[in-house]
Structure 1
Amino acid sequence: MIKPVAPTLMDRFLAGVAPNFATRRYHARLSLNYMGQYAGARSNRAALKAWRTHPGSADSDTLGDLPALRSRSRDLGRNNPIATGARQTSKSNVVGSGLRVRSKLNPKLLGMSPEAAELWERKSETLFDLWAQSKLCDITLTQNFYELQGLVFSAVFESGDTFVLRRTPKRPNAVVPLALNVIEADRVATPSELEGEYLIRDGVRIDEDGAPVAYIVLNEHPGERQTYTVNGFTEIPAFGKKSGEQMVLHIFERMRPGLNRGIPALAPVIEILKQLDRYSEAELMKAVVSSFFTVFLKTSGDDGFAGATSGLPGMGANDVTMGPGTIVDIGTDEEIQTAQPANTANFDPFFQSVVRQIGVALSIPFELLMMHFTASYSASRASLEMAAQFFRDRRTWLVRNFCAPVYEWFLTDAINAGLIDAPGFFNDPVKRAAWLGAQWIGPARIILDPLKEWKAETEAVNLGARTIEQVIIERGGDDFEQTTAQRAREHTARAAAKLEPEVLAPSGMGSRVNEDIEQKGDGTDKPKPKKAEKKQ
């Protein structure tokens, strides 16, 4: 191990006169003593000479670029098909029609019987679903909780982060006095009068440990029209002063230690998407122009076709319009010069190659990003399995940062309102975590071969690796109890019509039980007597 370089007499003298210069001088000498061996850090190679980087902190490398990244990401989301498809594909597979909660208590830890725990779970799920289905859960009365999940996911995808405020408006028909206020990323910013404060990072006030203390929310969106301007800002504490309850959810993915704002998902591919967009537009225009059949007619005077185009609205004297079957008059001394564009027969392979790179950056396979399944079953299945891992990770992230905290807010208000009884919820953190135990079930995965997939689900249920409730919710998004009750009614009707046996085969024993029923009868007919064996 190389020992650090000891400061010289000159170093100590400069430290007293010019400390900043002395520090840079000392570190320069130190770097010579610790020369690394990574080729990627060399500056004397031809490929790396012009590559200048700055070792900044997470915030200094990010915060200054966020306004441009957000606006360009949103523009691509509005006008670029690939960006729009990537957002919608991710949203559909992560959120779908909404993540549904299933309460999962630990009866032994809470000192409850399994029957009492099940009753509590069903009651809490019913109350939460009543609140979540109503638009009263949205402060703007526009979306229910399941739709807000999609809004939050899309906002983070395009803007990098978003904020959810805990509001308690007085609404007479609400299950609990809880409403969510989703704030766009641009509204959390540092006002001009607070700029320069070290502990405020783009609207996020932090403490000495880097933990959020408060969020500064502008009373208007920075991009709002002047006619709707409402000046000023409001500083909202991150946690309640008396209760310590979380009051604001800052939903983003921290990519580096010390990063206080989120980065849009399209940030690494913004330039590629824009260049590919321009390339596609040029190719489209070339195809349109090439499809026109235009006749150019030379005339010796002004009594030909020249007067036919004069006076058309929006056309100047020298404007020429091409189109299918168009006849354009030109003068005797004029001739047509056309530019022959280069042959772009390789447009589609090049386009697909670039889209594959975009898919890698967004963790979405090419087949799913382009909705183009032409490969073999094994290749398509492998792509979907890789995508399923990414979507499962994003779903877990959304649950931890948005769904689970909102569920905790709801239970807190429901317990305070006397709708639910949960002893120890407020004074025992272990029991509080036990009462909050829940599972969130999302949309079903894409199925390439339904028969194989359903057989696999059946085996998983028989082995105990999955529950029928999980299968019902993931495959159709339906409620287990409602589906079971409907299935019971259907079975009763079909059994009465002798279309099904009165006793269905248990799971995993269907073939054996059905054989017994065929041999013994279904209970409505008398068993047939066996024929006597003939003596030989």
Structure 2
Amino acid sequence: MKMNIIDRTVSYFSPLAGVNRVRARLALDGVRSYDGAKHGRNTAGWDARQTGANTEIGRDLATLRARSRDLIRNNPFAEKAQRVWVNNTVGPDGIMPRVVDDAYDDLMNWSDECDPERVSDLAGLETLISSAIFESGSALVRQIAVHPREGLHIPLQLQVIEPDYLDHGKNDDIKNGRIVNGVEYDLSGRRVAYWLFQDHPGERVNFGRYGVQSIRVPADQFMHIYERTRPGQVHGVPALASSLTRWRDTDNYETAVDQRKAIEACMAAFVTGGDSDDVAAVAKAMGTEANEEVILQKLLGSDLVGLLEPGAIFGLPGNLKVESFTPPASEDSGYLKHKYRGLAAGGNITEMQLTGDMSQANYSSMRGGLIEARLDFRRFQKQVLAHQFVRPCWRSVLATGKLVGRFAGIKPGYRPEITWPVFESIDPLKDVMADLIEVRSGFATPQQKMAERGNDHARTLQAFLDHYKAADKEGLIFDSDPRKVTKTGVANDFGALDPSKED
């Protein structure tokens, strides 16, 4: 066992006491049940501190965000990881409350108007939120009450801002609670306010106008959306936080490989032989008065490389000779593949999704990998996006809409179902047949399967009714109509809808 400075000091003055200290420590390590808790050569240098989540995050959060954003800006695979995450957690249509009748139209109209910048709809704002959580660890959404004279269907808009606005360096004990990393809590542990900068700290042009003082804003004006992984955690961390050094190492490795390849490509030949008379002849041929060292540098540098081209035949004066050189080939794909597996795991996606390499994939391996990844996506959708944004947003929209006469048929406190983004099928035929068997066996309902595909059951059913009534009225028979045609294509006289019974 390695002796620390105290052991060495004690041993210097009292060798017997030093021996007893080492013996006691060895005995203690011997009774410990966890190898990871023992002290020895394998754990030397492992600096593990027993600190709270907010102490760790508050100290390192700015650096983690800056490095995560730099990677996503400059590393194509990191940028791809972010897009894969957003595509699977939000999708093109977003996460929406499932409502019917006039409420659906009101919600869709508001969705188109909810962005104060008029750049995105509700799904676009959800994309910004998911992207910010992946890149920065969290997102802030400001709820803005709009004057009715602006003519919006529902006088409420949402502004998505980056978490940098939160003064995470502000910590204080106050009269009726405390402030932890810019979030104010009351004595019962509820969030009551956020301490925010009036502009983004990174926007230096504007930030100087306001100074560095944050202001107190009531919590009901904002939604702070992030994934909590430790009890009491106030802020989220970027998704790439655990793999930042691996991303950096991979970048450096690829840069070194590129440089090595460039050197290998340049090392086409060596010049051997010759004496001072030969060098003088070369100098004369080059038309230079430089000394021998400069001439040799030029000879071994760009001048000779410029002569080496496919099919070129050239001569050199004197006894100088050119010997070809073929560098050994280097193969790095196996190492990089191993690194990419770790990078994909750090981004909570599969290696196939990160690299797009499907050369060794088949249906079973793709499905097996995506099942686990989709469980993570769905957990994030339900526990973070739906709970922290979609449902609170719906409550605000419902309450505001009722003030202007919208959602008259919906009772206060109504909790709608959620329409989730659709995961694209790997093999549509197999997946559809599996869904059919589940429904016919009673393991699932058609409503559930429609919801999984992003469809609203009531609206889909009404669309079918409209289609069949129109087809019957015109005397049209479609092969897709199970009332008229069986699964095997045989005519089926099950019956038609009676147009006289239309509402």
Aligned-partner Cα distance in 2 for 1:96–1:185: 23
Q: 1:453 aligns with which of 412, 428, 431?
A: 431
Report SS of the residue matched to 1:189.
Answer: coil
The change in CA–CA distance for 1:301 and 1:264 in structure 2 (over 3 A counts) is: same
In the alignment, structure 1 residue 144 sits paired with structure 2 residue 139 = no
Corresponding letter in the other structure for 2:112: Q
Aligned-partner Cα distance in 2 for 1:438–1:424: 11
1:265 deviation in Å? 0.8
Correspondence for 2:67: 72
Q: 1:358 aligns with which of 343, 346, 349?
A: 343
Correspondence for 2:388: 401
Aligned-partner Cα distance in 1 for 2:168–2:202: 15
Corresponding letter in the other structure for 1:389: L
Corresponding letter in the other structure for 1:418: G
Aligned-partner Cα distance in 1 for 2:227–2:321: 61
1:162 deviation in Å? 1.4
Does the CA contact (< 8 Å) of 1:69 and 1:264 recur in 2? Answer: yes
Residue by residue, what CA displacement relative to the aligned partner does 1:86-127 show, whole Å, maximum 9, x if unpaired?
1111111111113343447xxxxxxxxxxxxxxxx3222221
Aligned-partner Cα distance in 2 for 1:343–1:445: 42
Correspondence for 2:190: 211
In the alignment, structure 1 residue 38 sits paired with structure 2 residue 7 = no
1:149 deviation in Å? 0.3
Does the CA contact (< 8 Å) of 2:54 and 2:181 recur in 1? Answer: no
1:261 deviation in Å? 1.1
Correspondence for 1:47: 42
User: Structure 2 regions of 5+ residues with no counterpart?
Assistant: 1-27, 272-278, 289-297, 497-503
Aligned-partner Cα distance in 2 for 1:342–1:227: 55
Corresponding letter in the other structure for 1:123: D
Correspondence for 1:85: 80
Report SS of the residue matched to 1:300.
Answer: helix
Equivalent residue runs for 1:221-370 within 5 Å? 221-226=200-205, 229-232=208-211, 233=213, 235-239=215-219, 246-291=220-265, 300=281, 304=285, 320=302, 325=309, 344-345=330-331, 347-370=332-355
Correspondence for 1:16: none
The change in CA–CA distance for 1:354 and 1:293 in structure 2 (over 3 A counts) is: closer
1:37 deviation in Å? 3.4
The change in CA–CA distance for 1:482 and 1:368 in structure 2 (over 3 A counts) is: same
1:338 deviation in Å? 12
Aligned-partner Cα distance in 1 for 2:486–2:95: 31
Corresponding letter in the other structure for 1:371: G
Does the CA contact (< 8 Å) of 1:188 and 1:218 recur in 2? Answer: yes
1:129 deviation in Å? 1.2
Does the CA contact (< 8 Å) of 1:473 and 1:479 recur in 2? Answer: yes
Residue by residue, what CA displacement relative to the aligned partner does 1:34-91 show, whole Å, maximum 9, x if unpaired?
x853222122x21113223221111112211001100000111111122112111111
Report SS of the residue matched to 1:179.
Answer: strand
Correspondence for 2:12: none
Q: 2:370 aligns with which of 369, 380, 384?
A: 384
The change in CA–CA distance for 1:208 and 1:513 in structure 2 (over 3 A counts) is: same
Residue by residue, what CA displacement relative to the aligned partner does 1:115-162 show, whole Å, maximum 9, x if unpaired?
xxxxxx32222211110123xx12333221110001000101111111
The change in CA–CA distance for 1:457 and 1:335 in structure 2 (over 3 A counts) is: same
Report SS of the residue matched to 1:54.
Answer: coil
Correspondence for 1:528: none
In the alignment, structure 1 residue 168 sits paired with structure 2 residue 145 = yes
Corresponding letter in the other structure for 1:85: K
Corresponding letter in the other structure for 1:185: P
Correspondence for 1:129: 108
User: What is the TM-score normalised by the length of structure 2?
Assistant: 0.74
User: Structure 1 regions of 5+ residues with no counterpart?
Assistant: 1-31, 105-120, 240-245, 308-316, 426-431, 523-536
Corresponding letter in the other structure for 2:185: I
Corresponding letter in the other structure for 2:120: Q
Aligned-partner Cα distance in 2 for 1:506–1:236: 64
Correspondence for 2:89: 94
Correspondence for 1:182: 160
The change in CA–CA distance for 1:142 and 1:247 in structure 2 (over 3 A counts) is: same
Aligned-partner Cα distance in 2 for 1:162–1:334: 68
Corresponding letter in the other structure for 1:138: D
Report SS of the residue matched to 2:210.
Answer: coil
Corresponding letter in the other structure for 1:235: I
Equivalent residue runs for 1:432-451 within 5 Å? 432=413, 435=414, 437-451=415-429
Equivalent residue runs for 1:401-420 within 5 Å? 401-420=388-407
Aligned-partner Cα distance in 1 for 2:165–2:324: 52
Correspondence for 1:534: none
1:228 deviation in Å? 6.0
User: What is the TM-score normalised by the length of structure 1?
Assistant: 0.70
Corresponding letter in the other structure for 2:397: F
In the alignment, structure 1 residue 56 sits paired with structure 2 residue 41 = no
The change in CA–CA distance for 1:342 and 1:83 in structure 2 (over 3 A counts) is: farther
Does the CA contact (< 8 Å) of 2:267 and 2:327 recur in 1? Answer: no
The change in CA–CA distance for 1:190 and 1:445 in structure 2 (over 3 A counts) is: closer
State which drifts further: 195-204 or 441-450. 195-204
1:442 deviation in Å? 2.5
Report SS of the residue matched to 2:142.
Answer: strand
Does the CA contact (< 8 Å) of 2:269 and 2:324 recur in 1? Answer: no
Correspondence for 1:201: 180
Percent identity at matched positions? 25
Aligned-partner Cα distance in 2 for 1:131–1:93: 24
The change in CA–CA distance for 1:152 and 1:126 in structure 2 (over 3 A counts) is: same
Aligned-partner Cα distance in 1 for 2:321–2:55: 59
State which drifts further: 335-344 or 179-188. 335-344
Number of equivalenced pairs: 441
Corresponding letter in the other structure for 1:93: N
- Superposition RMSD in Å: 4.2
